[in-house]
Amino acid sequence: MLNNVTSGQGSSERRIASAELDQHRRLIWGLGYRMLGSAADADDLVQETFVRALERPPPDVSRPMRPWLVRVAANLARDRLRARKAQSYPGQWLPSPIPTAGGHGLESLGDPAPGPEVRYGALESVSFAFLRALEALSPQQRAVLLLRDVLDLSVRETSAALDLSEANVKVSLHRARRAMSSYDEARPVLDAPQRQAIEQALAQLFSCVVSGDVDGVVRVLDEKCEHIADSGGKVHASRRVLAGALRVARFLVGVTKKHVGAKLPSARFVELNGVPGVLIEGMALGDGFAERAATMVELGPDGRVLRVYQVLAPRKLLAVWPDLE
């Protein structure tokens, strides 16, 4: 716990610092999650950032802590991201789902009213589509884009936070935006009608899957539908992307049929990463198989399901099931 960390300063100063740090906890967590795509890693980043603040505080503690904390967190996250990308990942990588109905991790750094430089709002910037698009960026480009286009820092502030020249910030941002162009062209509008459409598609999909109606599932899916599962190498799951409506439909129905003769898993609709999702429990298929999963979908232009995301890796489900730790 942070309260047990000693910093070489007086205990009263340390207590004041701890109280001030807690004011920025959700902000730093939100930055870490967007940088790393992992709720558990964001938790670790907050702890590491605050320990750094207590053990090696900024020279002038009378100045606002927020810019300094953002600088420390952004650089720690950049290092963590470099380390992750240097290692091969077992199968498909997906972000960890987070509950967003209560504004979890969605705070902005700037004023409540977004500035002209804010390209991506709080909800959009934690969506699966956005976080997956960020994976095409280098760690430096990702940090620059998040600080400029999500958290609304100026070029000067971003330069100071990342220890880059202002010219380098501008170049990195230009390259990051260019890499995000494909995402921007197909950018989903996460408004109320879209969320309702996603919820209806999920309900239809699950109804057809549970009833074993392959043709019904196919009708819900886009013909180019993809099924992407992230097991983290910890449980059984396809390490390849399944493509095509019929193939995805047969897979989903086939997996569900394995529960025939046993109690079907329970499904609970919740808001995950800004859109409706489903938390599934009780998938007791035997050793090595996931018992829980988070399922989300992405719709195509015609309203049919273009992608089915399933997160099964236990560590990536900690934000929705803390008892998995």
* pLDDT for residue 213: 97
Residues 57-74: pLDDT tens digits? 888 877 888 999 999 999
Q: Are residues 223 and 295 in the same domain?
A: yes
User: Is residue 225, in this structure, part of any structural domain at all?
Assistant: yes
Residue closest to 149 by CA, chosen among 128, 174, 124, 118: 118
Q: Are residues 205 and 172 in the same domain?
A: no
Residue type, 221: L
Enclosing H/E stretch for 133: helix 128-134
- Domain end call among 185, 216, 240: 185
* pLDDT for residue 262: 60
Say which range, 144-148, 161-165, 167-171, 252-256, has the weakest mean pLDDT: 252-256
d(CA 49, CA 76): 8
Q: Are residues 94 and 134 in the same domain?
A: yes
* Residue 257's CATH number: 3.10.450.50
Q: Are residues 181 and 38 in the same domain?
A: yes
Residue 19 clears pLDDT 80, i.e. is over it:
no
* pLDDT for residue 322: 84
- Domain end call among 122, 154, 185: 185
As a whole number, mean pLDDT of residues 88-104 equals: 88
Q: Are residues 175 and 249 in the same domain?
A: no
d(CA 109, CA 218): 43
pTM for the full predicted model: 0.89
120 or 16, greater pLDDT: 120
Q: Residue 289 — pLDDT band, cuts 50, 70, 90?
A: confident
* pLDDT for residue 61: 78
As a whole number, mean pLDDT of residues 27-42 equals: 96
> For residue 54, what are the domain limits?
7-185
Q: Are residues 82 and 134 in the same domain?
A: yes
Q: Are residues 266 and 131 in the same domain?
A: no
Enclosing H/E stretch for 222: strand 221-230
* pLDDT for residue 161: 95
Residues 223-245: pLDDT tens digits? 999 999 999 988 888 899 999 99
Around Cβ 279, how many Cβ atoms within 10 Å? 20
* pLDDT for residue 102: 66
Residue 195 clears pLDDT 50, i.e. is over it:
yes
* pLDDT for residue 68: 94
Residue 287 clears pLDDT 70, i.e. is over it:
no
Question: Over the chain, what is the mean pLDDT?
Answer: 88
Residue owning tokens 């997956």: 132
Question: In what side-by-side order are the strands of the sheet with 242-243?
Answer: 242-243, 221-230, 305-311, 292-299, 275-281, 266-272
* pLDDT for residue 265: 75
Strands 266-272 and 242-243 turn out to be: unpaired
Q: Are residues 166 and 210 in the same domain?
A: no
Largest separation between any pair of C-alpha atoms in the chain:
69
d(CA 205, CA 162): 44
- Domain end call among 185, 211, 227: 185
Give bridge partners of residue 281 from the DSSP assignment: 266, 292
Q: Return the SS3 of 295.
A: strand
d(CA 244, CA 21): 49
Q: Are residues 229 and 84 in the same domain?
A: no
Q: Are residues 83 and 230 in the same domain?
A: no
Residue 3 clears pLDDT 70, i.e. is over it:
no
Residue type, 312: L
Q: Are residues 154 and 11 in the same domain?
A: yes
Percentage of residues in the chain with pLDDT exceeding 90? 69
- How many domains, the chain? 2
User: Is residue 2, in this structure, part of any structural domain at all?
Assistant: no
